[in-house]
Chain A
Amino acid sequence: AVPPCINSTAQTNWLNRGDVRKALHIPATLPAWDICSDAVGEKYNILYWTVKDVYLKLLSMGLRALVYNGDTDMACNFLGDQWFVEDLGIKVTSKYKTWIYDDQVAGFYQRFGNITFLTVKGAGHMVPQWAPGPALHMFQTFLINGSY
């Protein structure tokens, strides 16, 4: 049960070592670890085809939100999420503009009240893996509600 083009062999081997399982307090009776579960995935029932209403409720409570996308991903591409955020109908509070990491353009972002849409340039689906520096900067900035 492995997503295509993702090599998870090393972490799978490490997590399945007996001494690692013991260190992590995993019962010996449990089956081997795998990155994805066929048992769960095959029987999973999707109830939400869009989470627009959920976002609107959360944002109306004043919660802070960040939707970010590595812009080379095709499983969940940035354009779809940009349209999703725009479709929330929340007033635009900043221009669509660049953000900088290590003196380079790291992507683009736009604020809509308490929600921000942000791209990470050149990163794929797993942003913290493929753009770790920019991802950490983005993460810290969001936590402190700072300026990207």
Chain B
Amino acid sequence: QYAPDEVTDLPGMTFKPSYRQWSGYLQAGPGKFLHYWFVTSQRDPTKDPVVLWLNGGPGCSSLDGFLSENGPFHVNNDGATLYENEFSWNKYANMLYLESPAGVGYSYSDDQNYETDDDKVAADNYQALQSFFVKFPNFTLNEFFIFGESYGGIYVPTLSLRVATGQAKINFQGFSVGNGLSSFALNDESLIYFGYYHGLFGEDLWRDLNDNCCNKGGCNFYNSSSDSCKIQVNIAFSIVYQSGLNEYSLYLDCEGRRGLSKTYEKAMTLLFRNYRKTLHTSKYSGPRLSSVSLN
């Protein structure tokens, strides 16, 4: 079943790969098709593990993981040619990249209804995974791992539980999450300390945060009922997310300079839902300063 999906030639590829690859679709339910890209290990595909990689969002494509993170080749800045990634994870594993859920990247649903939730995503991914092992039965005995990043912090464990407790014969060994969202409360709470101890907040704001959000040796920056605490946390979050810093990598420049997307705004609203009423009206929410005048 996998033969028609084999990728034999790719535009912009000037090197001969030492692995095989397939790209096609896995069924995740009636009329629901998830795009996958599978590359075999550069070492020993028959013995090396199979690793599923999921990017986050929710709603972002795992092909970003392939083409700019751990895939065997990446795209040059010309958008036309490819170069080999010497640190590709398929040096040691057969890597499966899945665009999930339907509506992401080249995945689709016949009814074009893309409303979904965590449990539905896990269920769809589990079905797609079973579809994968039907398509590639030679890999059913290989050890299997699930890796993910960011909102994959939710995708990965929820899918893992289905794999671990389901009927499908999968040699599941473990899972891993990179910079994952594991707890909204702890993510919010810890960010205040991260920001302060990286020098992003001054002593005045730190004092105001402590005065308004802390009591009897404990602090609540996540869901305090105090309006004055919410205001201070909102200011702190605005410094992190809206002052011009690269929130994904504090010491790197902010690339792209494209405007905020609806998805990004939605993600921010979800992440910091307790502060959404004030997040967009803070003193930091105006137009970004030019690079010349950034303080």
Residues of B within 8 A of A140 (CB): 91-92
Assess the B68–A4 pair: CB atoms within 8 A.
no
Tell me which residues from 103 to 130 in chain A have a Cβ below 8 Å from any Cβ of chain B. 114, 122-130
Assess the B114–A43 pair: CB atoms within 8 A.
yes
A30 to B107, CA, bound (A): 9
Assess the B58–A44 pair: CB atoms within 8 A.
yes
Q: How far is the CB of B259 from chain A (nearest CB, A)?
A: 9
Assess the A41–B57 pair: CB atoms within 8 A.
yes
Assess the B69–A66 pair: CB atoms within 8 A.
no
The residue from A36, A47, A69, A128 contacting B263, defined by CB atoms under 8 A apart: A36
A116 to B185, CA, bound (A): 21
- Chain B interface SS verdict (over half): mixed
A128 to B62, CA, bound (A): 13
Q: How far is the CB of A45 from chain B (nearest CB, A)?
A: 4
Closest to B66 in A: A11
Assess the B250–A72 pair: CB atoms within 8 A.
yes
Closest to A17 in B: B11
Tell me which residues from 22 to 64 in chain A have a Cβ below 8 Å from any Cβ of chain B. 23-26, 30, 33-52, 54-55, 57-58, 61, 63-64
Residues of A within 8 A of B57 (CB): 36-37, 40-41, 44
What are some 27 contacts across the A-B interface (CB < 8 A)? Answer: A1-B262, A5-B255, A8-B68, A11-B64, A20-B10, A33-B106, A36-B264, A38-B261, A45-B118, A47-B117, A51-B183, A58-B160, A63-B174, A65-B174, A68-B179, A75-B179, A75-B247, A76-B179, A76-B181, A77-B190, A81-B177, A124-B250, A128-B89, A132-B87, A136-B70, A139-B92, A143-B49
A139 to B241, CA, bound (A): 30
Assess the B187–A5 pair: CB atoms within 8 A.
no
Q: Is A142 an interface residue (CB 8 A)?
A: yes
Q: Is A3 an interface residue (CB 8 A)?
A: yes
Assess the B254–A5 pair: CB atoms within 8 A.
yes
Assess the B115–A43 pair: CB atoms within 8 A.
yes
Assess the A70–B249 pair: CB atoms within 8 A.
yes
Residues of B within 8 A of A2 (CB): 256, 258, 261, 264
Assess the A51–B154 pair: CB atoms within 8 A.
yes
Q: How large is the interface on B (under 10, 10 to 19, 20 to 34, 35 or more residues)?
A: 35 or more
Residues of B within 8 A of A3 (CB): 60, 248, 261, 263-264
Assess the B69–A126 pair: CB atoms within 8 A.
yes
Q: How far is the CB of A117 from chain B (nearest CB, A)?
A: 10
Residues of A within 8 A of B186 (CB): 50, 80-81, 83-84, 87
Tell me which residues from 142 to 194 in chain B have a Cβ below 8 Å from any Cβ of chain A. 143, 145, 147, 149-150, 153-154, 157-158, 160-161, 164, 172-191, 193-194
Q: How far is the CB of A79 from chain B (nearest CB, A)?
A: 4
A143 to B5, CA, bound (A): 27
Q: Which of B145, B173, B179, B264 has the most CB of A within 10 A?
A: B179
Q: Is B219 an interface residue (CB 8 A)?
A: no
A57 to B160, CA, bound (A): 10
User: Interface 1/0s, chain B 104-133, versus A by CB < 8 A?
Assistant: 111010000011111100000000000000
Q: Is A92 an interface residue (CB 8 A)?
A: no
Residues of B within 8 A of A17 (CB): 11, 80
Residues of A within 8 A of B161 (CB): 54, 57-58
Residues of B within 8 A of A63 (CB): 160, 164, 172-175
Residues of B within 8 A of A52 (CB): 182-183
